[in-house]
Structure 1
């Protein structure tokens, strides 16, 4: 990755929080990074797992994945097994309504993870977890560019604020962060939010101050980031993220300042209703 500043990494996090290292092996085909992240999770937070959907059918060679592509049989088994594993090995209850992209493979991932955990909660279809939504504002402009340059170049141009038909990158990141802030579960519970690789990759890059990523940074199917917020108002809290076993802290105020510096109006942001920021 190429970054503009070093992200605020909490290097002492491992020294002060308990590790979760159960002996039961991870589900087959789960990305290795998820167990690295599980091993450093804190206890009793309002935890959110923002994840890419499980294994799906193949897309075309340019990274264009039709919204009609379903989960594979192996992907269905993985989603259910991952939900069962999380429910059985973390000190967190998954007994929370889930958020999901309205696309079938994401809904199915959430449903199967709930089933694996022995639950049947509502799955709330969230337009910010699909496109157009968090990144794209005008698909008639953005979609042809996507098909021409491919998904990785598309995300990098988005991150560099050099892509017509899309939001400012800080706006996209803040909108998703605000969504999660407003749907925080109770302490000791974990909210599941299922989306797509483009949104997850862009969100992570914005949160970690990266302006360019490569395929090594790309989230795999069923790979996700754990996050929670410190107590406080949205505009003054820290967002904590655990991605691939590393803990990062991002002050929301800094993201708001970066967005403001681009010259965009605050009324474009989907902030919590109680936030008064200009």
Structure 2
């Protein structure tokens, strides 16, 4: 399977200025628009007819990387757009200030938008780590799609593994960490582009000690048994597998990633401990048994 480029959220707020006057908005103006989960808020402030600023407020308890962009005309920017910033915990930060450039001409800014990914681009994967298989022990599970899989494991999701798990199968943590995101409200699956672009898969995202993130996708609606902010051990139960999001049938998608910016990310090839051997790279159509 594959992810869209927006694992967090994208918000657009349009503000059009003509000759420094913001439409029908009285000055001074302040507008705030938040993501549906309330983790990230976009703040636009215009105190007068000549200046404005764009800020981001986060309520996240973990690191996230955000990329901000906008369309501007006749504007001097304090920072070139797009601009990418890393936030670590709750904070408010002004990312760009705008100033009317040539006073005899109109100035405009519109389509202010952002996208974000959990994690930090500076995270370095610890290649010495061996991962546990993210399922219950006792029976072999077949790999439906491995690294460079033809159906959807390319680009950002190149180093991902899809496991053949019937809906309702236990999903266990492949590595210790802290849960940074739980999504379990989606109820449908399909191969329409919208499922992929909007990442409509139920999932659990776990931040590892090295700053990388383990992604467990396509979980059953309401199937997560962990909470955001919870510390977990390798092998701990995370939830139940399902068939939600960009999917042709029930399975578990697993990958280890870090963001490149707020729009894209990179996955890492990882090795697993199994009953079939230690330090294995999993291969398509082969079956592996978890050890605990």
Higher strand residue share: 2
TM-score computed with the length of structure 2 as normaliser: 0.25
**TM-score computed with the length of structure 1 as normaliser:** 0.25
Task: Choose between structure 1 and 2 for higher RCO, CA contacts under 8 A separated by at least 6 residues.
Answer: 1
Larger Rg computed on CA atoms: 2
- Answer 1 or 2: which has greater helix percent: 1
